[in-house]
Structure formats: structure tokens, C-alpha cells
Amino acid sequence: MRILFRLGLGLSLYFLFTMPLQARCGGVLALVPPGLRIGTDQHLNLSTSSHTYAPGEPGSDNPYSYEFLEAASPFIQAGKSILILGAGSGYEAIAIAKKFPSVSITASDISNDALRDLEINLEEYGLSESVRVLKSDLFNDLKGEKFDVILFTAPRPLCPDLLRLGPLDAIRLVSSLSRCTSNFDSWGTIHERALTQFEEHLSLGGSLILLTDKRFPHSKFVSPQIKKTVLGEGLWTPNHEKDGHFQIVRFH
């Protein structure tokens, strides 16, 4: 009964207060890796809704966005065409467009919430005309298009520990549970599809840079001639080692 009471209280508080506040004024300061900084400008101030992943910094609970962009930055050069799958709130797209204004960037996502955040953030930085925004389920709406670099940043859904719920943790549970349950089972399928489809969208000599789980059987889904280079590894959530390790992999 106590758990049901906590959950009910959390639901009420969440829908009455948390969702409207997050929808109106959610935001995050996201650290930009040194290779993509301009002068002393080290952070991006991004608007994020309650249903969009917020990029994290080293030492945070989701450091993989910073680590991913840092690992990918050496392969991003002026004059290249870049596709960002799972662009989210625009962290990678904005950092790249600011540093390399001549780069052709396509940022896609399947989530309407993410695309709305992306467009708001691009407008805030004056980059609406510099980044092509597209709603697409992976490569479905990119038929016949090729890119020099493909970045795929969809993170693994993380679920709260139900056995460690505190009195008000139901709020945190409700805010993440729908994302966790709907995405976790399909996470592997999404990466399978990306790995089996990306080759036809890469220009000659191009690269796919993928954020994935260290345990994922990558080689099972790519052709033998594709080379794999591990660019980085880390904990999905540094404070909870049991959540496993992420891996940043370059396929070329």
C-alpha cells in the first residue's frame, strides 16, 4: 500500500507540476569537446523537453554524449557531408555547425519532441539555415543519399532501480518508465537495422561512428570488408557500474 501511495503521489505531482515546467523551461549547459570549441565558448545552452535526452558531461550520470562527440571530432572536417541519426536536442549538430560552417549537416530523429527541441536550439544559435532537419526512422527517408560521416548517438535506455525507491522517487520513475519500457527491448533491433543499412549511405572512404553497448555483437551485422575501430569506452552511468559499459565504435 505504501508503494501504491508513493506512486499515486508521484503521478499527481508529476502531471501537475513537473511536465509543464519541463515543457516550458527545461534546459542544460552541455560542455563542448576542445576540438570543436570556438575561442573561450565551452558550453552550449540547450533547450530540452522532458522526453528528449539531455547531453551530459564527464562525471555526470550520462557522460556518453560528451565522450561520443569528443571521439568523433577528429573525423569531422570542413567540406564534409555529415548525417546525425538520433540528433536529439541538437548537441552534435550545433557544435559542428558552429565550428565548421561549410560542412553540410543533416540532423534526423524519429521523435517529434526531439525535432521540436532541435529546431528551437538551431534558431537560438542562428543555425536554422545551416542544418537540414529531417524526421526519419533511421535511413527510411534518406533513400539514395550518401554521407562522408554518419553519427548515430541513440543511447541505451536506463531504468531506475525499483528496489531503491524513496518517498518521492515515484516522480523520477514515472518520468523515465515509459521511455525505458518502450525502448529497451527495441534498442538492439534499432542498432541491428543501422548496422545492416549504413553501408549504402556511406560515401567512399566514409565512416559510421556509433554509440553502442560494449557487449553488442557488432560484427554479426556488418559485411566482412568493413573495418571496426574502437574510439572510446566508459560507464553508462558512472555511479552505477552494474549498468555496464558503452563503446564508441568507428566502422569504415
Instruction: Give the pLDDT score at 173.
Output: 52
pLDDT digits (tens, 9 = 90+) for 14-48: 444 333 333 334 678 999 999 999 988 899 999 99
- Residue with more model confidence, 56 or 141: 141
Mean pLDDT in residue range 77-103: 92
Contact 233/247 with Cβ under 8 angstroms? yes
Quote the CA–CA distance of 67 and 58 in Å, as a whole number.
8
Annotated domain spans of the chain: 2-251
Written as one letter, the residue type at 95 is A
* Sequence-ordered list of residues with C-beta below 8 angstroms from that of 122, at least 6 positions apart, any chain: 90, 93, 94, 128, 130, 131, 133
Instruction: Give the pLDDT score at 186.
Output: 67
Q: Which residues of 125-154 are buried (b: 16+ CB within 10 A; e: fewer)?
A: bebeebbebeeeebbeebeeeebbbbbbbb
Does domain 2-251 match CATH 3.90.1150.10?
no
- Residue with more model confidence, 20 or 246: 246
Q: What phi and psi, each to the nearest 5 degrees, are found at residue 141?
A: -105, 25
Query: Among 39-48, 51-60, 95-104, where is mean pLDDT lowest?
Result: 51-60
* Sequence-ordered list of residues with C-beta below 8 angstroms from that of 134, at least 6 positions apart, any chain: 106, 107, 108, 141, 142
Q: β-strand 202-213 against 245-251: which pairing, if any?
A: antiparallel
HSE (side-chain half, CA atoms, 13 Å) at 21: 7
